[in-house]
């Protein structure tokens, strides 16, 4: 029987870890986390891997979305339901528009920790540790709030469990039934331009389902959906404590989520994060920014998927709208030369962030669209499958990204800016993006 405690190399450098003030307290929390039941099951991670393998072959599309940073306060029924509804709506648009299965994945039930460019935040003459997500400290700008507290990791576990419980109830309890495609739009702002377009599509889906029913075809698959959880595996005290040996296979799995990814700032080939990812069997992702070299990509593949296992490895590219057409092709070419099985996913958010004159961190909807459009173009030129998108979104009617059909301006950002970290697409912008991507998928 494999010993989980000796599996990970604790001597390696781990970037972006909190400065916990009290090592004893961390130890106590880790001991407690290790005793807790898994949040997800190894077999579910395997099922997701099989779906990713299908997408790698061009037979499915990956849709991953949710908050930049989940917060404990926003883990309410309304907020969770709105995010799920938004993702289900986007998936329906993509699936109907492109006639392709869509793999639905939430940046949800565990996305509580953030890497930061600066360790400190300065306001006036006060300098405090940066907010690193609810897993570590609190957004409020005070000494006590910004002090890292390992007890928060237990709250991450409990909040993730509660969120997943609701996600499972919604997606298996009738709410995600395709015949409810109309109802997912209820409660959202009606007068937006995108609403009628969605309603028209929902009507078509309804007619298609009625047609199937009249022909005697009733399929279980329309009544429930598989919805998977994912987050950035960042805080290694938490992730290692939530790794378990699968009793069926004697292999290690991360049981904090079905899918975990390693971020742009922590993907050092000899670092502790890549070591962790290399030793769990889950499907995993790695973010690739504009500075990534083909050699780095090759090293990651050799380390993370030496046997070229189908479904195992996803690259999430976040190049920026102005960089992608130059920076992405050399990486794809290297992967093709190696014959490596990769799911290519576009994150059109993280390479397109800037500070508005009003001081808010924002993104232009047009830049998001431009990066996705270039992503499709590059893959078309190289004959590879544009496998999916990775989006920061919320089901709420926030004003965090500028542009889109509602034409949110820099001045509008103050109206409802709620993100604890990066700006998210709101419900309308998310649906608009889905329609545009569906079109690109169809034209591919």
Residues that bind Co ion (CB under 5 A): 68, 422
Token pair, residue 182, equals: 């109309």
Q: Which is nearer to Co ion, 68 or 413 (CB)?
A: 68
Stretch that binds ligand PEP, among 41-49, 213-221, 262-270, 293-301 (CB under 6 A): 262-270
Distance CA(373)–CA(441), nearest Å, equals 10
Q: Which is nearer to ligand PEP, 205 or 420 (CB)?
A: 420
Q: Which is nearer to ligand PEP, 70 or 275 (CB)?
A: 70
Q: Which is nearer to ligand PEP, 40 or 113 (CB)?
A: 113
Q: Which is nearer to ligand PEP, 85 or 114 (CB)?
A: 114
Distance CA(309)–CA(53), nearest Å, equals 9
Residue 346 phi, psi (nearest 5): -100, 125
CA distances from residue 64 to 105, 261, 317 in whole angstroms, order as listed:
5, 12, 13
Based on the shown chain and the rule CB under 6 A, indicate whether residue 133 belongs to the binding site for ligand PEP: no
Among 85, 152, 312, 318, binds ligand PEP (CB under 6 A): 318
Token pair, residue 387, equals: 């496998």
Of 89, 99, 46, 41, residue with least CA distance to 65: 89
Among 134, 237, 239, 264, binds ligand PEP (CB under 6 A): 264
CA distances from residue 143 to 121, 147, 148 in whole angstroms, order as listed:
11, 6, 10
Stretch that binds ligand PEP, among 170-178, 218-226, 261-269, 294-302 (CB under 6 A): 261-269
One symbol per residue from 142 to 181: x for binding ligand PEP (CB under 6 A), - otherwise; what is it?
A: ----------------------------------------
Distance CA(247)–CA(214), nearest Å, equals 45
Q: Which is nearer to Co ion, 138 or 422 (CB)?
A: 422
Residues from 231 through 250 that contact ligand PEP (CB under 6 A): 232
Name the DSSP letter for residue 427: H
Among 287, 341, 363, 424, binds ligand PEP (CB under 6 A): 287
| Residue reference for tokens 């540790």 | 129
Stretch that binds ligand PEP, among 29-37, 154-162, 259-267, 399-407 (CB under 6 A): 259-267
Dump the DSSP string for 236-286. Answer: HHHHHHTEEE-TTTS-EEE-S-SEEEE-TTS--TTSHHHHHHHHS-S-EEE
Based on the shown chain and the rule CB under 6 A, indicate whether residue 49 belongs to the binding site for ligand PEP: no
Based on the shown chain and the rule CB under 6 A, indicate whether residue 310 belongs to the binding site for ligand PEP: no
Q: Which is nearer to ligand PEP, 224 or 265 (CB)?
A: 265
Of 297, 292, 393, 389, residue with least CA distance to 338: 297
Shortest gap between Cβ of 269 and Co ion (angstroms)? 23
Shortest gap between Cβ of 132 and Co ion (angstroms)? 13
Residues from 345 through 384 that contact ligand PEP (CB under 6 A): 350
Number of residues that bind ligand PEP (CB under 6 A): 10
Distance CA(155)–CA(292), nearest Å, equals 35
Shortest gap between Cβ of 106 and ligand PEP (angstroms)? 13
Distance CA(38)–CA(30), nearest Å, equals 14
Among 263, 320, 348, 387, binds ligand PEP (CB under 6 A): 263
Q: Which does 267 bind (CB under 5 to 8 A by kind): Co ion, ligand PEP, none?
A: none
Q: Which helix (H) or strand (E) holds 232?
A: strand 227-232
Residue 420 neighbours by CB under 8 Å, 6+ apart: 67, 68, 69, 71, 131, 133, 134, 139
- Which positions lie near ligand PEP, rule CB under 6 A? 68, 115, 232, 263-265, 287, 318, 350, 422
């Amino acid at each position: 029987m494999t010993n989980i405690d000796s599996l990970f190399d604790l001597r390696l450098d781990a970037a972006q870890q909190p400065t916990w003030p009290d090592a004893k307290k961390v130890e106590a929390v880790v001991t407690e986390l290790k005793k807790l039941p898994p949040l997800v099951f190894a077999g579910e991670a395997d099922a997701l891997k099989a779906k990713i393998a299908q997408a790698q072959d061009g037979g499915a599309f990956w849709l991953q979305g949710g908050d930049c940073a989940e917060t404990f306060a926003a883990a309410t029924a309304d907020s969770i339901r709105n995010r799920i509804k938004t993702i289900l709506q986007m998936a329906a648009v993509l699936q109907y528009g492109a006639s392709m299965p869509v793999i639905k994945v939430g940046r949800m039930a565990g996305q509580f920790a953030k890497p930061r460019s600066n360790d400190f935040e300065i306001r006036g003459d006060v300098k405090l540790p940066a907010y690193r997500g609810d897993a570590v400290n609190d957004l409020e700008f005070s000494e006590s709030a910004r002090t890292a507290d390992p007890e928060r990791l237990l709250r991450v576990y409990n909040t993730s469990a509660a969120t997943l419980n609701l996600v499972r109830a919604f997606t298996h309890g009738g709410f995600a039934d395709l015949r409810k495609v109309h109802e997912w739009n209820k409660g959202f702002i009606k007068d937006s331009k995108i609403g009628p377009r969605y309603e028209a599509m929902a009507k078509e889906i309804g007619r298609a389902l009625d047609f199937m029913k009249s022909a005697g075809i009733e399929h279980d698959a329309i009544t429930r959906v598989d919805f998977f959880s994912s987050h950035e595996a960042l805080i290694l005290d938490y992730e290692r404590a939530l790794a378990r040996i699968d009793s069926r296979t004697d292999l290690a799995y991360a049981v904090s989520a079905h899918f975990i990814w390693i971020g742009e700032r922590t993907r050092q080939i000899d670092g502790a994060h890549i070591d962790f990812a290399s030793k769990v069997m889950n499907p995993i992702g790695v973010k690739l920014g504009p500075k990534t070299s083909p050699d780095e990509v090759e090293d990651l593949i050799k380390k993370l998927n030496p046997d070229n296992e189908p479904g195992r490895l996803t690259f999430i590219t976040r190049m920026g709208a102005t960089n992608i057409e130059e920076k992405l092709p050399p990486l794809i070419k290297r992967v093709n030369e190696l014959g490596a099985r990769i799911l290519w996913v576009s994150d059109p958010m993280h390479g397109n962030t800037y500070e508005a004159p009003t001081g808010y961190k924002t993104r232009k909807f047009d830049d998001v669209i431009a990066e996705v459009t270039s992503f499709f173009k590059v893959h078309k030129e190289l004959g590879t499958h544009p496998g999916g998108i990775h989006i920061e979104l919320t089901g709420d009617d926030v004003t965090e990204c500028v542009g889109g059909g509602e034409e949110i301006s820099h001045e509008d950002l103050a109206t409802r800016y709620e993100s604890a970290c990066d700006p998210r697409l709101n419900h309308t912008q998310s649906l608009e993006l889905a329609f545009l991507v569906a079109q690109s998928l169809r034209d591919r």
